[in-house]
Structure 1
Amino acid sequence: MAANRTLAIAASSLLVGLIVLGLKFLAWWLTGSIALYSDALESIVNVVTALTALAAVRLAQRPADATLPYGYHKAEYFSAVLVGVMIIVAAILILREAALGFLAPQLPEAPVQGLAVSAVATVINLVWAMVLLRQGRKARSPAMEADGKHLMTDVISTVGVLAGLGLVFLTGWAQLDSILAALVALNILWSGWGVIRDSVGGLMDVAVPKDIQQSIRETIAVNADGALEAHDIRTRQAGRMTFIDFHLVVPGSMSVDDAHAICDRIEAKLRETVKDVQITIHVEPENKAKHAGIVVV
C-alpha cells in the first residue's frame, strides 16, 4: 500500500505540474512579462521532473532479480541527478531571455490579471511542494523529495517575481522585469546544484544519518546477549532501502544454532528500528575480536 501511495503521488505531481504550467503561461500571455515567462519556463521543467520522478519511482519498486540482486532503488538517484541537470538548463535559458529583455525593455501589460493568475499557480505549487516533501521523507524517496524541493524553490522565485513586478508597474522601470528574471535564474541554478549534490551522495553509498546510526548501534548492543562483540558496523542508503552489515564475534565453543539465534534476534529488532532494511551479519570466533565497536561483555 505504501508503494502504491508513493506511485499515486508521483502521478499526481504530473497532473499538478500541467495545471500550473497552463496557468503560468496564461499569466505570461496576459502580461508579456519576461519575468513571468521565465517562471513559466521553469514550470516546463517541473512537468518533465514529475514525469521523470514517476518513471524512477516505478522502476525503484521493481523487486531484485539476477541482474540487480540488490534491487532497483538507486534509480531514484539517477532521476534526481537528471532533474538537477534540467533545472540548470532551464536557468541558462531564462538568463538568455533576461539578457535580451534588458537590451530591449518593454513594460508588461494587464498587470492585475496576470499577477492574479500567477498567484493562484503559486498557491497550488506551495501546497503540492509541502505534500511532496512530507511524503518523500516518509517514503524515503529521493526523486519525490527532489521534486518537492524544486517546487518549493519555484514558489520562492515566483513570490519574488510577483513582488518585483508590482514595483515595475508602480515605477515604470521596464528593465527591472529582466533583472527579476535573471535573479530567478540564479536561484534556479542554486537549486539545481543542490539537487545534484544530494543525489550524487546517494549514488556514492552515503551512510545513514547519525541519529539512525546511533539507533542501530544501540539496538545491536541491547539484543546481542551471548555474543562478545560487534565491529565494522557499516550502513548505506539506496533510495528507501537501508543496508546494514557488521561482524559479530561469538565464543568459539558456541554452536551454529546458538549463534544463528542471536543473529535472528538482532535482525528482528533492527527491522523494528529501521524500515525497509537489508541486514548482513558475518559471525566470527572470539580470536577475531578487535575489542572495538560494540563490546557486549
Structure 2
Amino acid sequence: MEAKRRVRRLAGWSIIIAFAVMGLKFVAWRMTGSVALYSDALESIVNVIAASAAFWAISVSHKPADQDHQYGHHKAEYFSAVLEGVLIVVAALLILAEVWRSFEAYAPLEQAWEGIAVNGLAAGINAIWAFILIRAGHQHSSPALAADGRHIMTDVVTSVGVLAGLIGAVVTGWYALDPLLAMLVALNILYQGWKVITSSLDGLMDRAVAVEQHLHIRDVISANSKGALEVHDLKTRIAGRATFIEFHMVVDAQMTVGESHAICDRIEDALQLEIPSVRVVIHVEPEDEAKLPVGTAAIPFA
C-alpha cells in the first residue's frame, strides 16, 4: 500500500515539476529568440501532457480487480506510455516545421547568456527528477513512471546538447548553429518517441519476462517442488507491475488433493517472496494423464 501511495505521489509531483520546467524554458526562449531553445521548450509541453497521462494511468492501474476487470487494471500504464511516445513524435514534427521556417532567416541571439543560464537551471531540475522517476519506476515495476523518467532524461540530454551548441554559436558568432541544433533535437526526439512506443506495445502484447528472470523462476520452482514428479510448460507474461506465471505440475496419481495443494502453496509462497507482484496458476496433473507439450522440456528438480 505504501508503494502504491509513493508511485501516485511521484506521478503527481511530475505534473508540478513539468509545469515549472516548461515555464523556465519558455522564458529562456523569449529572452533569446533561439529556435533551438524554442524546440526544447516545445518538448516540455509534451512533458506536461505526458505527466498528466501517467498520473491518470497509475491511478487506474492501482485499482483492485473488479467484475469487469477480473485480472486487475495493470495494463493501463502502457496506454499512458504509448500516448507519451505519440506526443513525443508530434513535438518533433512541430520542431522540424519551425526549423524549416527559421533556415530562411536567422539572426544573432538576444540576451544569450541569460537565456542559456535559465535553460541550464531547467535542465538541472529535469536531470534530478528523471533519475528519481526511473529508479522508482524500476523499483515499483511502473512502466508509466519509468517511461516518463526516460523521456525527461532524453529532454535533459537534448538540453545539454542545445546549451553546448548555443554557447559555441555565441562565442564564434556562427548563428546558423541555432536551427541546426533544433533539427538535431527533433531527430533525437523522433528516435526516443519510437522507442517508447515500441516498448509499450511490447507490454500490451503480453511479453514474457526476460531470459534471466525466466531462469530464476525455474530455479525457484525446482527448489520447492519436492513431492512432485515433474513440472513443465512454464509460461510467463508481464502486465505493468504484475508478473503472471503458469505451469503444469505432474504428481503421483495416488497423491491426495491436499498433498498436491500443499506443494502448490509452497511453490507459490516461494515465488511471492522473489516477485511480490506475481500471480501464479498451477495446473496439477496425475502422472498417468500427463502430456509434455511438443517442443518443451520438463524443469529439472533441485
Q: Is the structural similarity TM-score above 0.5?
A: yes
- Does 2:293 match 1:292? no
More moved, 286-295 vs 216-225: 286-295
Q: Tell me, yes or no, if the aligned pair for 1:228 and 1:295 is still in contact at 8 Å.
A: no
- Does 2:215 match 1:214? yes
User: What letter is aligned with 1:32?
Assistant: G
TM-score scaled by length of structure 1: 0.98
What is the match of residue 276 of structure 2?
275
> How many Å separate the matches in 1 of 2:244 and 2:219?
17
> How many Å separate the matches in 2 of 1:296 and 1:159?
53
> How many Å separate the matches in 1 of 2:205 and 2:135?
24
Shift of 1:174: 2.3
> How many Å separate the matches in 1 of 2:69 and 2:27?
45
> How many Å separate the matches in 1 of 2:210 and 2:22?
36
SS state at 1:253 partner: coil
Question: Over aligned residues, Cα RMSD in angstroms?
Answer: 1.1
> How many Å separate the matches in 2 of 1:32 and 1:271?
56
Shift of 1:289: 4.8
Q: Deviations over 1:107-162 (max 9, x none)?
A: 21101100000000000000000000000000111101110110010000010100
What is the match of residue 129 of structure 2?
128
What is the match of residue 255 of structure 1?
256
User: What letter is aligned with 2:69?
Assistant: L
**Residue ranges of structure 1 left out of the alignment (5+ in a row):** none
User: What letter is aligned with 2:73?
Assistant: Y
Q: Percent identity?
A: 52
Superposed structure 1 runs of 4+ greater than 6 Å apart: none
What is the match of residue 233 of structure 1?
234
SS state at 1:237 partner: strand
User: What letter is aligned with 1:211?
Assistant: E
User: What letter is aligned with 1:21?
Assistant: M
User: What letter is aligned with 1:203?
Assistant: L
- Does 2:49 match 1:48? yes
What is the match of residue 224 of structure 2?
223
TM-score scaled by length of structure 2: 0.96
**Residue ranges of structure 2 left out of the alignment (5+ in a row):** none
Q: How many residues align?
A: 297
Give 1:101-140 correspondences, 5 Å limit. 101-140=102-141
> How many Å separate the matches in 2 of 1:237 and 1:219?
18
User: What letter is aligned with 1:262?
Assistant: I
Q: Tell me, yes or no, if the aligned pair for 1:226 and 1:250 is still in contact at 8 Å.
A: yes
Q: Deviations over 1:270-290 (max 9, x none)?
A: 101111111100000112153
User: What letter is aligned with 2:265?
Assistant: D
Q: Deviations over 1:49-102 (max 9, x none)?
A: 100000000000011111111111000011100100000000000001111111
Give 1:77-88 correspondences, 5 Å limit. 77-88=78-89
